[in-house]
């Protein structure tokens, strides 16, 4: 569903895609006009929106049986509202309805111009100076509506101005009932449209969101981009945002790069978004709001060290790319990342100060909450994007708030849990999981076979676990569907034998000296440790389910106990648990998942005074929580950043860029950027000179 209006003249098939070229050559010979060619290509580029098209078709075909008469299509800039209305136009024609279109940008608060346009659309002549033009227009529409259904599409309604009141109070109430209005704009119809229950009954809201990964992939394939890694790179840059796809698609098709140089198109898109914020004061507040993932008025006031006026904050949260969420407000992901990039490039010191202040604020809240046992998983989640850990940043980049909820498993719903396990086994298929770190452009790709996707259900004996008093929970969707399962076993005298015999947990307890194992044999109420058996979800490809897993992990980690787990021996789990601060337990490997692959056991200790230390390691990896920025390391004469010093350590050792990237979990592109920055700071010409200079500085 992507408009490629700006790239039609440059549209070329991918190298070797002869079928695509042949198809378009055949089509070209059948076109009578350039307009027909444009219309066909627009139709070819439209993907997705099956739900919205289905709703529209229901109203077009069953209008007489519906009480609603206004479909309100809304979404932030570039979401494809205009293209959807064009698709509605074609659908209306297919069903024998008459479609009339209005673009509110063309009328500048002029009701007569609107009426004149509609009369022209209906094929009627008129005098623009005629004082009864409104009556003439309504009469002509009435006659047409008696013959057939009319669809009146009104686009860019955010530009309506004073015409909003005219439409609502004068024009729409006098329309024939055989008319369906489609009002599209950046914002939902609000204010007077919602104050009356009568108006509310007329309106059907249709919010537009980004295209799914599958829909994005369809569009890329239609446009000759067939390389799977390149498709994933485009997806990570656009999140399925339609206009972003149309801007970045030609770049991906032209150079087959991971889009490292694709900043300019997004800058153009940013300018379109910022049309909603014409003054510098609001734009400055937008920059500040791009630093935290979730913000409120108090937090923005703290970052800017001034009282943000209520009226200014109200203007901010009314922007089309800002939404309400639990804990405050959030920007649209693509808008936020684009604005953050601009902020960091144009005002690097201010950006760094705001980031440091944000980390200090959340760190302080967490430290105060620990002694009184308050849940701090939300605060930690808000801080993770500001750490220096690309794996965590990548996972949290795609960790939206989830509407799913947890339900304790007991005798009444045990059958639901067992049915979930049976369904998972019957519907097992391979998974492809992709996430990326926006700070370093690192793309993480993971694949699992259908057998590997079931590993997390290994050795689950739910009836026995329930009898032992283990913590078993279902994850349900808002509709009540079971979409996941969590099982953790508190370690005490009643569960110790079960854990020692399990193929997943037995290796850890077998590795313990007798005295240490005996310390776990406590009464249930004094259990000091937990073995996390599984957090399984029906599809790890879904971002909201990965978000649920992350939040459940933090909840377990913050319990103030020894947390043990032995996830499947796959890169996805290894990177995730290591990045969260879990340490591998020596001598506690097993073959419990597939019988052949050694699988480690991981451990993290957050008891009493160890919890702040653990948080300090996790959070202060950003280098921002300290009261003052760290200076050069001892013996280090250069003004390197903490990350540059890490690169320097490996550079001196003789590691290649690829080896450095692997060791630090960053891309080779990011390594090159750090090396180039270090060369600029030292005035040297190549990495050999740089390594020698660093060595001399540390050992001179």
Which pLDDT does position 251 carry in this prediction? 67
pLDDT of residue 323: 84
Is 614 inside any structural domain? no
Give the tens place of pLDDT for each residue, 11-64.
333 444 445 445 545 554 565 677 666 666 666 667 888 999 999 999 999 999
Total number of domains in the chain:
6
Q: Of the residues 394, 420, 439, which one is the last residue of a structural domain? A: 394
pLDDT value for 480 = 93
Position 635 scores a pLDDT of 45
Residues 377 and 419 in one domain: no
Residues paired with 436 in a beta bridge: 443
Max intra-chain CA distance, the chain: 99
565: in domain:
yes
Measured over the CA atoms of residue 619, residue 624, residue 627 and residue 629, the dihedral's sign is: positive
Q: What is the pLDDT of residue 85?
A: 93
Phi, psi (deg, nearest 5) at residue 103: -110, 115
Residues 193, 203: Cα–Cα separation, whole Å = 9
CA of 317: how far to CAs of 285, 320, 340, 419, in Å?
11, 8, 17, 43
3-state secondary structure at position 72: strand
- Number of other CB atoms surrounding residue 34 within 10 Å: 9
- Which DSSP helix (H) or strand (E) runs through 73? strand 70-74
Polymer length in residues for the chain: 700
384 part of a folded domain? yes
C-alpha 166/C-alpha 74 separation (Å) is 20
Mark which of 207, 228, 250 sits at the end of a domain. 207
Q: Which residues contact 345 (CB under 8 A, 6 or more apart)?
A: none
With contact defined as beta carbons under 8 Å apart, do 487 and 460 qualify? yes
Dist. CA 416–CA 168, nearest whole Å: 50
What is the arithmetic mean of pLDDT over 483-493?
95
Whole-angstrom distance, CA of residue 128 vs CA of residue 112: 7
CA distance 399 to 330: 13
pLDDT digits (tens, 9 = 90+) for 498-551: 999 999 999 999 999 888 888 889 999 988 899 999 999 999 988 788 888 888
Distance (Å, whole) CA 378 – CA 369: 12
- What is the rounded CA–CA span in Å between residue 636 and residue 336? 36
- Consecutive H or E run containing 635: none
Q: Do 547 and 464 sit in the same domain of this protein? A: yes
Neighbours of 481 (CB within 10 A): 12
Q: Provide the pLDDT for residue 84.
A: 93
CA 422 – CA 675 distance, rounded (Å): 52
* 372 and 510, same domain (yes or no): no
Decide which of 224, 251, 271 is a domain's last residue.
271
SS3 538: coil
Look at the alpha carbons of 89, 71, 336, 235 in this order and tell me if their dihedral is positive or negative.
negative
> How far apart, in whole angstroms, are the C-alpha atoms of residue 670 and residue 533?
36
Q: In which residue are the tokens 């690829």 written? A: 658
Strands 322-325 and 328-331: antiparallel
% of the chain residues with pLDDT over 90: 40
CA distance 547 to 401: 7
Report which DSSP code applies to 63: G
Together in a domain, 256 and 126: no
pLDDT at residue number 14:
42
Check whether residue 433 and residue 353 sit in a common domain: no
Please give the pLDDT value at position 8: 25
The rounded distance, in Å, linking the Cα atoms of 466 and 456 is: 18
Question: CB-based burial of residue 155 (10 Å sphere; 0-12 exposed, 13-18 middle, 19+ buried)?
Answer: buried
Query: Which range has the worst mean pLDDT, 62-76, 188-202, 224-238, 298-312?
Result: 224-238
For 249, the domain range is 213-271
Per-residue pLDDT, 181: 96
The reply to whether 161 and 243 lie within a common domain is: no
376 Rama class: left (phi>0) / alpha (psi -120 to 50) / beta: alpha
Are the C-beta atoms of residues 310 and 261 closer than 8 Å to each other? no
* 483 and 505 housed in the same domain: yes
C-alpha span between 56 and 447 (Å, rounded): 38
pLDDT, greater one: 664 or 124 = 124
Residue 636 has pLDDT above 60, yes or no: no
Instruction: Tokens for 277, please give them.
Output: 């914020």
pLDDT in tens, 564-586: 999 999 988 988 888 788 889 99
| Cα angle 396, 482, 599; round to 5 | 60
State both tokens at 167: 């439409």
How many Å is the Cα radius of gyration of the chain?
30
| DSSP secondary structure string for all residues of 318-367 | TSTTEEEETTEEEE-HHHHHHHHHHHHHH-HHHHHHHHHHHHHHHHHHHH
Q: Which of 29-38, 375-384, 471-480 has the lowest mean pLDDT?
A: 29-38
pLDDT in tens, 413-443: 999 999 999 999 999 999 988 777 766 666 7
> Is the same domain home to 241 and 130?
no
pLDDT at 171 over 50: yes
Residue 385's pLDDT is 74
Answer yes or no: do 230 and 296 share one domain: no
Comparison of pLDDT for 626 and 128, the residue scoring more: 128
pLDDT at 4: 30
| Three-class secondary structure assignment of 139-181 | HHHHHHHHHCCEEEEEECHHHCCCHHHHHHHHHHHHCCCCEEE
Kindly state whether residue 399 falls inside one of the protein's structural domains: no
Percent of the chain scoring above 70 in pLDDT:
83
Per-residue pLDDT at 626: 36
Within 10 A of 342 (CB to CB), how many other CB atoms are there?
18
H or E element in which residue 379 lies: helix 377-383
When pLDDT is averaged across residues 55-80 and rounded to a whole number, the result is: 92
Using alpha carbons only, give the angle 314, 318, 320 rounded to the nearest 5 degrees. 155
Residue 527 belongs to some domain of the structure: yes
Over residues 444-454, mean pLDDT: 91
- Whole-angstrom Cα distance, residue 619 to residue 600? 25
Mean pLDDT comparison of 9-13, 361-365, 448-452, 519-523, highest-scoring range: 448-452
CB count within 10 Å of CB 461 equals 14
pLDDT band, very low/low/confident/very high, at 699 (cuts 50, 70, 90): low
Q: In the predicted model, is pLDDT for residue 356 greater than 90?
A: no
Indicate whether 3 belongs to any domain.
no
Cβ neighbourhood burial of 532 (10 Å; 0-12, 13-18, 19+)? buried
Neighbours of 537 (CB within 10 A): 23
Q: Which of 641, 648, 700 shows the shortest CA–CA distance to 355?
A: 641
Q: Is 621 domain-assigned?
A: no
CATH number of the domain enclosing 412: 3.40.630.30
Cβ 460 vs Cβ 534: under 8 Å? yes
Q: What is the pLDDT confidence band of residue 132, given thresholds at 50, 70 and 90? A: confident
pLDDT at 117 over 80: yes
The pLDDT value recorded for residue 665 is 63
Whether the Cβ atoms of residue 456 and residue 245 lie closer than 8 Å to each other: no
Q: Mean pLDDT in the chain? A: 82
CATH number at residue 691: 1.10.10.10
Helix axes 642-652, 668-682, angle to 10 degrees: 90
Would you state the structure tokens that stand for residue 361, as one six-digit string? Answer: 């604020």
From residue 308, how far is each of 184, 294, 313, 565, 674 by CA, in Å? 32, 16, 7, 46, 37
Per-residue confidence at 684, pLDDT binned at 50, 70, 90?
Answer: confident
14 within domain boundaries:
no
The reported pTM is 0.61
Q: Do 202 and 114 lie in a common domain?
A: yes
- The reply to whether 32 and 128 lie within a common domain is no
Q: Are 506 and 498 in contact (CB under 8 A)?
A: no
Same domain (yes/no): 433, 555: yes
């Amino acid at each position: 569903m992507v408009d490629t209006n700006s790239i039609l003249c440059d549209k070329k098939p991918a190298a070797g895609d002869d079928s695509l070229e042949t198809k378009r050559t055949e089509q070209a010979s059948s076109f009578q006009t350039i307009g027909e060619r444009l219309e066909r290509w627009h139709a070819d580029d439209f993907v997705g929106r099956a739900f919205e098209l289905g709703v529209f078709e229901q109203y077009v075909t069953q209008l007489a049986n519906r009480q609603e008469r206004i479909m309100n299509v809304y979404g932030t800039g570039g979401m494809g509202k205009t293209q959807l209305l064009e698709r509605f136009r074609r659908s209306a024609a297919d069903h024998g309805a008459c479609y009339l279109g209005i673009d509110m940008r063309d009328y500048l608060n002029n009701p007569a111009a609107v009426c004149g346009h509609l009369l022209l659309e209906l094929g009627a002549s008129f005098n623009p100076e005629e004082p009864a033009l409104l009556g003439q227009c309504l009469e002509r529409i009435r006659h047409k509506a008696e013959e057939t259904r009319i669809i009146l599409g009104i686009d860019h309604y955010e530009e309506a101005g004073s015409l909003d009141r005219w439409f609502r109070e004068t024009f729409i109430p006098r329309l024939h009932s055989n008319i369906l209005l489609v009002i599209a704009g950046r914002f939902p119809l609000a204010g007077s449209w919602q104050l009356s229950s009568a108006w509310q009954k007329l309106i059907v809201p249709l919010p537009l969101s980004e295209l799914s990964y599958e829909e994005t992939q369809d569009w890329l394939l239609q446009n000759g981009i067939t390389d799977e890694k390149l498709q994933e790179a485009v997806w990570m840059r656009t999140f399925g945002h339609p206009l972003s796809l149309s801007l970045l698609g030609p770049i991906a098709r032209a150079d087959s790069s991971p889009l490292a140089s694709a900043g300019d198109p997004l800058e153009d898109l940013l300018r379109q978004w910022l049309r909603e914020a014409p003054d510098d004061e609001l734009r400055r507040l937008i920059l500040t709001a791009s630093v935290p993932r979730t913000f409120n008025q108090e937090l923005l006031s703290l970052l800017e060290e001034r009282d943000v006026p209520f009226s200014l904050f109200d203007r901010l949260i009314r922007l089309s790319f800002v939404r309400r969420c639990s804990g405050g407000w959030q920007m649209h992901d693509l808008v936020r990342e684009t604005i953050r990039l601009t902020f960091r490039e144009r005002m690097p010191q201010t950006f760094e100060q705001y980031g440091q202040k944000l980390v200090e604020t959340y760190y302080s809240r967490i430290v105060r909450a620990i002694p009184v046992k308050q849940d701090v998983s939300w605060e930690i989640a808000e801080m993770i994007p500001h750490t220096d850990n690309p794996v965590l940043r990548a996972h949290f980049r795609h960790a939206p708030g989830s509407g799913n909820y947890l339900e304790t498993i007991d005798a009444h719903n045990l059958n639901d849990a067992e049915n979930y396990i049976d369904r998972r086994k019957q519907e097992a298929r391979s998974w492809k999981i992709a996430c990326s770190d926006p700070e370093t452009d690192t793309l993480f790709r993971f694949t699992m076979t259908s057998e590997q996707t079931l590993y997390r259900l290994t050795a689950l004996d739910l009836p026995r676990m329930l009898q032992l008093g283990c913590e078993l929970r279902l994850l349900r969707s808002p509709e009540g569907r079971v979409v996941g399962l969590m099982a953790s076993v508190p370690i005490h005298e009643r569960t110790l034998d079960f854990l020692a015999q399990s193929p997943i947990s037995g290796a850890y307890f077998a590795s313990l000296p007798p005295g240490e194992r005996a310390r776990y044999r406590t009464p249930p109420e004094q259990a000091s440790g937990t073995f996390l058996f599984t957090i399984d979800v029906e599809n790890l490809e879904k971002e909201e389910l990965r978000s649920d897993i992350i939040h459940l992990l933090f909840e377990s980690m913050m319990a103030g106990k020894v947390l043990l787990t032995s996830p499947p021996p796959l890169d996805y789990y290894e990177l995730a648990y290591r990045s969260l601060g879990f340490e591998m337990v020596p001598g506690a490997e097993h073959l419990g998942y597939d019988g052949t692959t050694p699988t480690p056991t991981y451990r993290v200790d957050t008891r009493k005074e160890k919890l702040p230390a653990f948080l300090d390691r996790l959070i202060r990896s950003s280098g921002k929580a300290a009261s003052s920025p760290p200076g050069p390391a001892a013996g280090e004469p250069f003004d390197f950043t903490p990350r540059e010093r890490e690169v320097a350590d490996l550079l001196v050792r003789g590691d290649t860029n690829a080896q450095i990237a692997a060791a630090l979990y960053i891309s080779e592109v990011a390594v090159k950027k750090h090396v180039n920055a270090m060369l600029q700071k030292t005035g040297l010409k190549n990495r050999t000179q740089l390594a020698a200079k660093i060595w001399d500085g540390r050992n001179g």
